[in-house]
Structure 1
Amino acid sequence: MKLRLIILLCLFFIACKKDAGTKDQTSSTTYKVPVEYYKLDNGLKVILSQDKTAPTAIIAVYYNIGFRIEPKNRTGFAHLFEHMMFQGSQNLGKMEFINLVQKNGGVLNGSTRFDFTNYFEIVPANKLETMLWAEADRMKGLAITQDNLTNQQGVVKNEVKVNVLNQPYGGFPWLDMPQYANENWYNAHNFYGDLEDLDAANLEDVQSFFKTYYAPNNAALAVVGDFNIDEAKNWMQKYFGGIPPVELPEHPDISEPKQTEEKEFVKNDSLANKPAIAVAYKMPKRNSSEYYAMGLLDQILVQGDNALLRQKLVSEKGYTSGISGGINYLGNMFNYKGPMVWMFDFTYDKETSKEDVMSAVDSVMINLKSSIDKKTLNAALVKIRSSLYDDLGGTFGLGRADMLCSFALFDDNPNRINTLEDEFKKVTPEIINKTIDNYLRSTNRTVLEVNPLLENDKNMEK
């Protein structure tokens, strides 16, 4: 009897293995993110993505206003307003929103990017309703007072001083490069904010900004994690359904002219101890075949130890110890809408000349087409697939919520999240070559050099 049972179990496992092998050959192994997308009557875009692997829930609210289209003469205002969103609302006083999350074992944050401002909470799943109520409470209305404004103006100004003005390589290149590479003011102004502009913001500015942009029909809300979909829908309607929409202003023209000449700039930095270089190329149109090709070229050129620029500048020449690079330094290649650059940067020794550094860079770029074969392209696909799934699964699914909200805001289609891998697979060697010719040309790039001042130069500055 025991022998018969063992034989039956063996046959069962053999059959399962055979069936699995057959299934693998005929079905896709691509992971699909569950997406349920709809809109409330007031225009709020709602994305629900269930994942019961952990008893947590993410609430992400993205408003379709970033610093790219903030008011002129109010640089840094979108970021200043992000801080105001934590200063209290109709039913939650100052710091009470933060305490509500943290005392329930959660974490929270917010950020201002090129094309959106976002807020998120990661909480135990049983606190989802509580956080939806809290987010709706501040969407209805903030505690906009002069005391709160003055306090946060000081906080943001101090942030600018610490992170930019008093920091070696402060703002390099994430804040600097857009100002040098772009022509249109909306893409080329100081996003962090000039101190004079931050001081000039008044209570009327804040109230107008809130009424104009912080409305349900200018927002996307994603819930990712362990929750009941019917319950979540009921809570969405209960807490957000009664918030009235607004008439949204027409978005300004944020397009960039085609670049036809290489641009070079030098930034003196008295706090830097080494020279640095940033090289930026204007990106193809978002969602085009060349856009996806640039994603693969980014992997080939700067991502990982086998990247061509890393091999040349680090391993072969020894000019630098490492290279940073990518599409959209304030996020990733998926969570922006307007013009963008692909960029890389690094520091190098004072004994090395800028001419030697750029000569090494040019040798890689000039020979790029001949360096890419089918094997290289396949390796890039593997790397970008790994990066994509890292984003989707990281921080309890926060990367997934980020993409879902971005695609809802910019494309009205969060299901795009499930098409990305296939779009990269469509990129052929011909598309890669076309992208190199059209976009990775020297006349489409901006080079920004950081010049560390010598001691006598610093004394002269004083």
Structure 2
Amino acid sequence: MKKSLFTLVLLLLVGFHSNAQKVEFEEYDLDNGLHVILHQENAAPLVTVGVMYQVGAKDEVKGRTGFAHFFEHLLFEGTENIERGEWFNVVSANGGRNNANTSQDRTYYYETFPSNKLEIGLWMESERMLHPKIEKIGVDTQNEVVKEEKRQRIDNSPYGKIIYRTGVDKHLFKVHPYGRSVIGSMDDLNAAELSEFIAFNDQYYNPNNATLVVAGDINIDDTKKMIADYFGPIKNRAETNVRTAILEPAITETRYATEYDSNIQIPAYIFSYITPKSVEKDAYVLDYISSILTGGNSSRMYKRMVDKDQVAVQVLAFNQANQDYGTYTMGALIKGEPNWDNLKSTIDEEIKKLQTELISEKEYQKLQNQFETRFVNANSRVEGIASSLATYQMLQGDASRINKELDVYRSITREDIMRVAKQYLNPNQRVEIKYLAGSEPEN
């Protein structure tokens, strides 16, 4: 019954936000440096409490990769006041749900509760920040959990190296830590001492390295008081994580690579490029380009390669803009015996059309409609709004970009699409990966 009621409330929120409305919010800092963002939305009795920490896979040191993602699991183990293994039980007993995720740039934890349980959410996140229990039993337990996740998502999942980029980014980035996978190395995690996990927590899990977002059915004054009570006394154990710019040399001639996957039968041909960081307009233009080339059965590459030429069973594209750099990856799952030269020329012909011909007005209007719908859906629930506010503030330095992003998409012209395709999607700027069935041959 609780689950059904929770789903109904979420659906009510979707209906309320069916149009792109301005997201009103308030932000301020506590004395300890914690940045707070409050968004009041009283349409439904739900509230999301989220905390984003400025630590991701790119902050790890060589030989100890995987720590940021590992902590995403480890910090659910328990605290001084939440017994080990009881975190999820506390959440569900109060009618809520929770999750966490890690990227190259940040780690994010959140709970969504009925709004009368707001204090529970604030207490739990303050406990995670102030009183985490980092013990050998928890480290050993989560080590096995992370290993199983790696097996399921990457090692034993068809095309897992493409989806989770472990077989792509290492060929793109030779200097920047984006070349390492978020899930990291199991050997590194196995070799780490308990003291290293404690030190990692002390370095990064501090108020001055975090953004707290509370979004939903709240009273602003009451919420501020609870935040002051629960988070105000937390002291910092280290300075804010100050990142230095790491420049990745541009790719100036085509790189070639081969990856193997024993879980597949259909090979793939993958092209991947380094592209602009998330704050730049060109990163948004590449979203449009991705949709034009491979966005569904009406996309150009699908109609050309799957329907007409029948050289592929599916086409794919991933445009991912991170804080420092973006990546654009495209390709096809091959039908029949691969003719690599023919596949390459076909893909390049479709790219060339974008570089030399303006898309039609009809195609342009379709794109704008698609992305407006996508934007509205992404911010149709308090969970989405909370995540967006934290992300814009921490990774782009401006939470108000939540109200500017749709205007950025709307400002993109057909000429922008042509220009960006010319600037970033050239053969000498990419990695070409033959993704083959089977195991890598022994040397």
Alignment of 1:348 with 2:334, yes or no, is yes
Distance 1:307 1:371, change over 3 A: farther
In 1, the alpha carbon distance for the partners of 2:124 and 2:262 equals 45
- Structure 1 equivalent of residue 374 of structure 2: 387
- Structure 2 equivalent of residue 365 of structure 1: 351
Structure 1, unmatched stretches of 5+, are: 1-28
In 2, the alpha carbon distance for the partners of 1:53 and 1:403 equals 19
- Structure 2 equivalent of residue 405 of structure 1: 390
Alignment of 1:59 with 2:49, yes or no, is yes
In 1, the alpha carbon distance for the partners of 2:306 and 2:122 equals 49
In 2, the alpha carbon distance for the partners of 1:187 and 1:361 equals 26
Distance 1:324 1:225, change over 3 A: farther
- Structure 2 equivalent of residue 275 of structure 1: 267
> What do the CA deviations read for 1:56-80 (whole angstroms, capped 9, x no partner)?
1111111111112212101212111
- By how many angstroms is 1:292 displaced? 2.6
- Structure 1 equivalent of residue 365 of structure 2: 378
- Structure 2 equivalent of residue 261 of structure 1: 253
Amino acid at match of 2:122: L
> After the TM superposition, which residues 42-441 of structure 1 pair with which residues of structure 2 at under 5 Å, given as runs?
42-173=32-163, 174-245=165-236, 246-328=238-320, 333=321, 336-368=322-354, 369-393=356-380, 396-441=381-426
**More moved, 200-209 vs 443-452:** 443-452
> What do the CA deviations read for 1:302-338 (whole angstroms, capped 9, x no partner)?
223322222222222223333332322xxxx5xx312
What do you get for the CA RMSD once the two structures are aligned? Answer: 2.1
Q: TM-score when scaled to structure 2?
A: 0.90
Equivalent pair of 1:34/1:49 in contact (CA under 8 Å): yes
Distance 1:260 1:33, change over 3 A: same
Equivalent pair of 1:157/1:195 in contact (CA under 8 Å): yes
Distance 1:252 1:202, change over 3 A: farther
Equivalent pair of 1:89/1:137 in contact (CA under 8 Å): yes
- By how many angstroms is 1:371 displaced? 4.9
User: Rg: which structure is higher?
Assistant: 1
Structure 2, unmatched stretches of 5+, are: 1-18
> What do the CA deviations read for 1:175-224 (whole angstroms, capped 9, x no partner)?
22111111225111233222211201211111111011111111111122
Q: How many residues align?
A: 422
Equivalent pair of 2:115/2:216 in contact (CA under 8 Å): yes
Distance 1:118 1:345, change over 3 A: farther
- By how many angstroms is 1:123 displaced? 1.2
> What do the CA deviations read for 1:259-292 (whole angstroms, capped 9, x no partner)?
2112221112233211012222211243233223
Q: TM-score when scaled to structure 1?
A: 0.86
Distance 1:319 1:230, change over 3 A: farther
- Structure 2 equivalent of residue 8 of structure 1: none
